[in-house]
Chains A and B, each alone.
Chain A
Amino acid sequence: MLGFLAFTTVNTIQAARSFQQQYSAVKTGDVKAIHPWMTIRVVSHIYHVPEDYLYRSLNIGNPASLRHLTLYDIAKRKHQPVDQLIRSIQRAILAYRKTRHQFLTPTPTPTLHIRMKPLSPTPGRTKY
């Protein structure tokens, strides 16, 4: 009886750790948090990647028929292991982020163009 209690306690601690890891991975946008139960729509929602982009990168012809399929089912249809499909999605997301980062990063502006407030010649005077 005490053995059962000890086993369930250890099991609960492990489950709590696993949850903590997954939760922080999702929060930070880590692509390792992709699971076979997810659909392409869910992946696109969590990782902020367009659905069409994911379908294109996976070479899927008719996205409408796969809209409600989990990654597990898509892998089965494509006759490939689900881990391989997940790896392809991870690569696609990372590639998307890379291109987007390059596109969005602003060019550094020279500081000379910044308009600064002139210093007050009279001490204590603020309005001009």
Chain B
Amino acid sequence: MNAFYISALQQYGYPALWLIVFVAAAGAPISGSLLLFAAGAFSALGDLNIFILFPLALSAAVLGDNLGYFVGRRVGMPLLTWLERQRRFGWISPESLARGRVYFRQRAGWAIFITRFLIVVLGGPINLLAGLEQYPYRNFLFWDVSGQILGAIIPLGLGYIFAASWEEVAGLFGAFSGLSLAFLSVNIFSVLLVRKLRQRSRASAAKAAANDSPRLLESKGGPDTDPLPVPD
């Protein structure tokens, strides 16, 4: 599949690059950043111009992200309602879905920013989710453009620097991206686990205290044996 995209890039040049990056950013399962690595390498080897590539890649990626966002905004809510009604997704409770949405709303900016250049795999779903959540468009555009600047500079730059080894650099970057995702997941999971354990220990401590208080009263002789002085 990669051979096909690289052949297209070599034969049709800039329009092919723009189209593939746009489609990838809109949510298609294509690696747009892999093509940017290749484009960077071809520019170092004299086939393309890096100064044309950068604005081209940035515009294609931002427009693709915007398409994803508006699709999410338009069809996201009806889709979510439909999903909630489906029995086969019964294992996702409405409470956990609501919790997930609140969690996303709190961290949407960072989620949009990071998924533009580091965890690129989640870029498409995050665009849809941002649209679905009616995340303010101005904020979306700000985080999107900021992230996509890095999302274009990193692969183009690395491809340009390591020209003939761009494939291996792209592989290394992809592996590092996977490692970041795993690290982030483990971090979030451990924070949630610690929180849950603390809540449970607090609840059990409160329960134990509630159980202990009548016993304490009984050991002291109970309220009848030693009544509190009644004010006149």
Contact = CB atoms under 8 A, between A and B. Distances in A.
A binds B: yes
Interface of A: 1-2, 4-5, 7-9, 11-12, 14-16, 18-19, 21-23, 26, 33, 35-39, 41-42, 45-46, 68-70, 72-73
Given A18-B168, A26-B164, A46-B164, A37 B38 contact: yes
A19 B172 CA distance: 7
Contacts of B165: 19, 22-23, 26, 33
A11 B183 CA distance: 14
A41 B47 contact: yes
Nearest to B189: A1
Interface in B165-185: 165, 167-169, 171-172, 174-176, 178-179, 181-183, 185
Interface string B201-220: 00000000000000000000
Nearest to B169: A19
Tell me if B's interface is mostly helix, strand, loop or mixed: helix
B45 A12 contact: no
Q: Say which size band chain B's interface belongs to.
A: 20 to 34
B45 A37 contact: no
B79 to A, nearest CB: 28
Contacts of B172: 12, 15-16, 18-19
Tell me if A's interface is mostly helix, strand, loop or mixed: helix
A1 B175 contact: no
B178 A12 contact: yes
A16 B3 CA distance: 22
B143 interface: no
Interface stretch (B5-13, B59-67, B107-115): B5-13
A8 B3 contact: no
B188 to A, nearest CB: 10
Contacts of B171: 15, 18-19
Contacts of A14: 175
Contacts of A39: 10, 47
Given A12-B178, A22-B167, 10 more contacts: A5-B183, A5-B185, A19-B165, A19-B171, A22-B165, A37-B3, A37-B38, A38-B164, A45-B46, A72-B7
A17 to B, nearest CB: 9
B136 to A, nearest CB: 33
